[in-house]
C-alpha cells in the first residue's frame, strides 16, 4: 500500500484537468471544465473537473474523486497502479513496503514477460518462424495484429525456453510452477510448449500470466494447450484482451463477449476493438464483476450450435441475477467470426455484429424455433421444453409473457393452456433448484466465497510448520503428507508453506541417493535456505524446540488438521460451483449424496 502522504502530493502536484482532457474532451464553463462522463451512458456533459478543488464529479451518476481515482476507474487498474503511473508523469520515485507475495508475483510476471519476448523473437528469426508466419498471414492475421497481440512461436527444441530463462538467472522451480517447463522422472527438464503458435494471456492490467499454444502444422496432438493454473493465473478470473478492450469498451459503453481468443482477434480485424473472451471456461462471477466495472451493456457472441446455445443460456442466467439482460449475436450457418470474414469480409462482420445484436432471449427463442416441425408433436414439445427452460430462469414477468404469447401465436395454440404447461415446468424447476441449494446447506442468495477469503487459523499454519520440520528429516512423512494433497492449491495465504514443501519434494526427487544417509536433512535445509524468501522461515522452523521430530503423534495430529482443512476447501469449492450453476458440480454432488445413502 502506497502511503497516503505520497498520494496526496501527487494529487496536489498534478493538474486533474490536464490529465482528464487526455482521455476525453473538456469544455470550460466558469472556473470548472465539463465533459461527457465515461462512467455511465451520458448524453449531455454532466461531469465537472476542477483544478481548484482537485476533483472530478458527475452530477448524474455521482461518481467522483481525485486524479488518481479517475485514472484507476478509467483504465480499470488498481489505485496503487494509477498512483505509480501518475508519479512517473512528474518524475517521482515511489518506495513501498512490498510483501513477499508481491515480490514473488512480480518475479513470476517478469518470467512470463521474458518468455513472451523469447516466443516473439523466435517467430521473427527462425526457419520454423517462416512457416508459422505464413500460417498466420493465411488466416488474415497481419504483422500489425501479431505485434498488437504479442503473438509468438515456441521452437521445436526440447528445452529452448528453459535454457534461455535459466541464463537470464531465473529459478528452475519458478519455471516449473508457472507451467513453462516440466521435470521428468529422470530429472530432465523439457519445455511444455513446442512448435506451437503462442498467444499470451494477460491480466486486466496487461501483465502476462499464461499462454495458449496452437498447433499450426499437421499433427495428431491437441489443437490447443494452455498454461496450467498457478499463483498468478486463474482461468476463472482472466478475460482474454481485457487490458486492450477496457478503454474502447468504456468509451463505447459496450463490450462483446466471444467464445475464444481467435474470435476476439477476428473481431479486431473488423475494427471491433472492445471484444473479450473467457479462457476455455464458462462465465464466472469474477468475469462478470470485471466487465461490470466498465459497462453494463454486454453482447454475447457465441456459436449457434448446441454448445454455444448452452453457453449463451447459462451466461444469460448468471447476468439475470445482476438484473442485466445482455444482447446476443449469432452468426449464420454456425460460422465463427474468422469463417465469416473469409466468406464475406471484415467490414461485413462489423456491420453484422452491430446490426444483429438483439436481446439474448430473442436468439434463444429463434434458435429453438428454427428446429420446429409443426406437424411433429415431438418436435413441438421439444421446442416448448427448450423455451420453458430458459423462461424459468428469467426474473422479469413481462419478458416471460412476451415469449409465451409469441409461442402461442407461432404454434397456433391456446395461450392459457400454454401458460398452464409453463407454470408446471417452472414449479418443478424452482423445486429442483431449492433442493440443490438446501442439500448443500446454503441459501439461494449466498455469495460465492473465494479461497483467499477463507480464514487461515493459527492451528492450520502451525500444522504446516510441524509437517515441514518432520518432512525435512523424514522423506516417508513427506510422502504421507503428499498423498493427501495431490492437485490441492492452498491459496496465497499459505503459498510460503506450500512452496517450501514443493521445493522439498523436488529436492528429494533430485537426490534419491541421500534419502537414507545422515546428509539427508542437512542437504534439504541448505537447499531450502538458498531461496531468500524461505531462509528466515526455515530458520524459524528448524530452531523451534517445541517441534519435536521424534513425536510422531504431533505429526499425525497436524496431518489430520490439514486433511480437515483440505476437506473444508473442497466442500466450499463444490458449493460455490453449485451456486454458479456448474452442471458437473451438481451431478458430482448428487452422485456423492447417492453414495452416502447406499452406505
Q: Which of 354-363, 526-535, 545-554 has the lowest mean pLDDT?
A: 526-535
For residue 345, how many other CB atoms are within 10 A of its CB? 13
Query: pLDDT: is 205 or 491 the higher one?
Result: 205
Question: What would the grid cell of residue 433 be?
Answer: 433448484
* Cα–Cα distances in angstroms (integers) from residue 110 to residues 81, 93, 497, in the given order: 16, 20, 23
Q: Helices (DSSP H) in 90-215: which residue ranges?
A: 100-124, 127-138, 143-148, 160-167, 172-177
Q: From 160, 234, 170, 231, select the one nearest 198 (Cα to Cα).
A: 160
Whether 441 has a pLDDT exceeding 60, the answer reads no
3-state secondary structure of 178: coil
Burial group, residue 528, by CB count within 10 angstroms (0-12, 13-18, 19+): buried
Three-class SS of 43-75: CCCCEEEECCCCEEEECCCCCEECHHHHHHHHH
Question: Residue 480: left if φ>0, alpha if ψ -120 to 50, beta else—which one?
Answer: alpha
Mean pLDDT score of the chain: 84
Share of the chain above pLDDT 90, in %: 40
The partner residues of 359 in beta bridges, in order of sequence, read 327
With cut-offs at 50, 70 and 90, classify the pLDDT of residue 488: low
Question: Residue 597: left if φ>0, alpha if ψ -120 to 50, beta else—which one?
Answer: alpha
Query: pLDDT: is 185 or 127 the higher one?
Result: 127
Query: pLDDT: is 336 or 279 the higher one?
Result: 336
- Under 8 Å between Cβ of 11 and 51: no
Instruction: Please give the average per-residue pLDDT across 568-572, as a whole number.
Output: 72
User: Concatenated DSSP letters for 426-463?
Assistant: HHHHHHHHHHHHHHTT--TTPPPPPGGGS---HHHHHH
pLDDT in tens, 205-219: 889 999 999 999 988
pLDDT of residue 276: 96
Residues 6+ apart with CB under 8 A from 352: 329, 331, 340, 344
- Under 8 Å between Cβ of 210 and 227: yes
With cut-offs at 50, 70 and 90, classify the pLDDT of residue 429: low
Query: pLDDT: is 11 or 484 the higher one?
Result: 11
With cut-offs at 50, 70 and 90, classify the pLDDT of residue 6: confident
User: Concatenated DSSP letters for 300-359?
Assistant: EE--SSHHHHHHHHHHHHHHHTTT---EEE--GGG--HHHHHHHH-HHHHHHHHHHS-EE
User: Concatenated DSSP letters for 233-254?
Assistant: --TTT-EETHHHHHHHHHHHT-
- Under 8 Å between Cβ of 310 and 281: no
Whether 444 has a pLDDT exceeding 60, the answer reads no
Question: What would the grid cell of residue 367 be?
Answer: 434458435
Residues 6+ apart with CB under 8 A from 71: 19, 77, 82, 85, 86
pLDDT in tens, 90-143: 888 876 555 567 778 888 999 999 999 999 999 999 999 999 999 999 999 999
Q: How far is CA 201 from the centre of its chain?
A: 10
- Under 8 Å between Cβ of 375 and 369: no
3-state secondary structure of 196: strand
Share of the chain above pLDDT 70, in %: 86
With cut-offs at 50, 70 and 90, classify the pLDDT of residue 498: confident
Whether 454 has a pLDDT exceeding 80, the answer reads no
Query: pLDDT: is 470 or 530 the higher one?
Result: 470
Angle between helical axes of 397-411 and 415-439 (0-180°, round to 10): 130
Whether 505 has a pLDDT exceeding 60, the answer reads yes
Whether 449 has a pLDDT exceeding 90, the answer reads no
pLDDT in tens, 224-271: 899 988 889 988 889 999 999 998 998 889 999 999 889 999 999 999
Taking the C-alpha atoms of residue 454 and residue 440, their distance in angstroms, rounded to an integer, is 18
Query: pLDDT: is 501 or 194 the higher one?
Result: 194
Whether 528 has a pLDDT exceeding 90, the answer reads no
pLDDT in tens, 362-391: 999 999 999 999 889 899 999 999 899 888
pLDDT of residue 436: 44
The DSSP call for residue 2 is -
The DSSP call for residue 568 is H
- Under 8 Å between Cβ of 208 and 228: no
pLDDT of residue 56: 92
- Under 8 Å between Cβ of 505 and 524: no
Whether 222 has a pLDDT exceeding 90, the answer reads no
pLDDT in tens, 58-83: 888 888 889 999 998 888 787 888 88
pLDDT of residue 493: 67
pLDDT in tens, 268-317: 999 999 999 988 778 888 899 899 988 999 999 988 788 888 889 889 98
Amino acid at each position: 500500500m502506497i502511503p497516503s502522504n505520497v498520494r496526496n502530493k501527487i494529487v496536489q502536484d498534478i493538474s486533474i484537468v490536464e490529465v482528464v482532457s487526455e482521455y476525453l474532451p473538456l469544455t470550460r464553463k466558469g472556473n470548472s471544465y465539463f465533459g461527457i462522463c465515461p462512467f455511465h451512458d451520458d448524453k449531455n456533459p454532466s461531469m465537472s473537473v476542477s483544478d481548484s478543488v482537485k476533483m472530478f464529479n458527475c452530477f448524474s451518476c455521482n461518481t467522483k474523486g481525485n486524479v488518481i481515482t479517475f485514472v484507476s476507474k478509467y483504465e480499470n487498474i488498481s489505485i496503487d497502479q494509477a498512483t505509480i503511473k501518475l508519479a512517473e508523469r512528474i518524475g517521482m520515485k515511489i518506495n513501498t513496503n512490498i510483501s513477499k507475495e508481491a515480490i514473488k508475483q512480480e518475479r513470476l510476471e517478469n518470467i512470463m514477460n521474458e518468455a513472451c519476448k523469447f516466443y516473439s523473437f523466435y517467430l521473427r528469426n527462425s526457419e520454423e518462424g517462416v512457416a508459422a508466419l505464413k500460417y498466420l498471414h493465411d488466416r488474415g492475421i497481419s504483422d500489425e495484429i501479431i505485434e498488437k497481440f504479442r503473438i509468438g512461436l515456441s521452437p521445436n527444441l526440447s528445452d529452448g525456453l528453459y535454457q534461455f530463462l535459466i541464463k537470464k538467472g531465473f529459478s528452475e522451480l519458478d519455471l516449473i510452477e508457472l507451467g513453462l517447463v516440466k521435470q521428468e522422472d529422470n530429472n530432465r527438464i523439457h519445455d511444455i510448449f513446442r512448435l506451437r503458435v503462442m498467444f499470451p494471456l494477460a491480466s486486466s492490467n496487461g501483465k502476462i500470466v499464461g499462454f495458449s499454444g496452437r498447433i499450426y502444422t499437421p499433427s495428431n496432438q491437441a489443437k490447443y494447450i494452455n498454461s496450467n493454473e498457478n499463483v498468478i493465473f486463474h482461468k476463472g478470473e482472466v478475460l482474454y484482451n481485457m487490458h486492450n478492450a477496457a478503454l474502447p469498451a468504456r468509451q463505447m459503453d459496450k463490450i462483446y463477449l466471444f467464445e475464444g481468443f481467435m474470435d476476439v482477434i477476428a473481431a479486431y480485424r473488423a475494427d471491433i476493438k472492445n471484444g473479450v473472451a473467457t479462457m476455455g471456461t464458462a462465465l464466472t462471477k469474477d468475469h462478470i464483476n470485471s466487465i461490470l466495472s466498465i459497462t453494463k451493456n454486454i453482447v454475447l457472441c457465441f456459436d449457434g450450435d448446441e454448445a454455444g446455445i448452452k453457453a449463451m443460456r447459462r451466461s444469460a442466467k448468471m447476468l439475470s441475477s445482476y438484473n442485466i439482460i445482455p444482447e446476443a449475436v449469432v452468426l449464420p450457418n454456425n460460422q465463427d467470426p474468422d469463417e465469416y470474414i473469409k466468406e464475406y469480409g471484415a467490414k461485413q462482420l462489423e456491420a453484422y455484429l452491430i446490426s444483429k445484436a438483439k436481446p439474448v432471449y430473442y436468439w434463444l427463442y429463434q434458435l429453438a424455433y428454427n428446429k420446429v416441425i409443426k406437424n411433429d408433436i415431438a418436435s413441438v414439445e421439444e421446442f416448448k421444453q427448450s423455451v420453458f427452460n430458459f423462461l424459468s430462469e428469467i426474473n422479469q414477468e413481462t419478458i416471460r409473457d412476451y415469449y409465451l404469447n409469441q409461442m402461442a401465436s407461432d404454434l397456433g395454440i391456446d395461450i392459457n393452456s400454454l401458460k398452464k404447461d409453463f407454470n408446471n415446468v417452472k414449479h418443478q424447476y424452482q423445486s429442483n433448484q431449492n433442493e440443490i441449494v438446501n442439500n448443500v446447506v446454503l441459501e439461494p442468495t449466498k455469495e460465492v466465497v473465494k479461497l483467499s477469503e477463507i480464514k487461515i487459523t493459527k492451528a492450520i499454519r502451525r500444522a504446516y510448520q510441524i509437517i515441514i520440520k518432520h518432512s525435512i528429516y523424514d522423506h516417508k512423512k513427506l510422502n504421507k503428507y503428499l498423498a493427501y494433497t495431490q492437485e490441492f492449491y492452498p491459496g496465497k495465504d499459505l503459498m510460503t508453506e506450500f512452496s517450501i514443501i514443493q521445493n522439498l519434494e523436488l529436492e528429494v526427487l533430485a537426490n534419491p541417493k541421500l534419502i537414507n544417509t545422515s546428509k539427508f536433512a542437512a542437504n534439504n535445509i541448505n537447499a531450502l535456505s538458498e531461496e531468500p524468501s524461505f531462509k528466515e522461515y526455515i530458520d524459524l522452523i528448524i530452531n523451534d524446540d517445541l517441534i519435536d521430530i521424534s513425536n510422531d503423534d504431533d505429526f499425525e495430529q497436524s496431518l489430520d488438521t490439514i486433511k480437515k482443512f483440505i476437506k473444508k476447501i473442497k466442500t466450499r469449492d463444490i458449493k460455490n460451483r453449485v451456486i454458479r450453476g456448474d452442471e458437473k458440480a451438481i451431478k458430482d454432488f448428487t452422485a456423492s449424496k447417492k453414495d452416502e445413502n447406499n452406505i
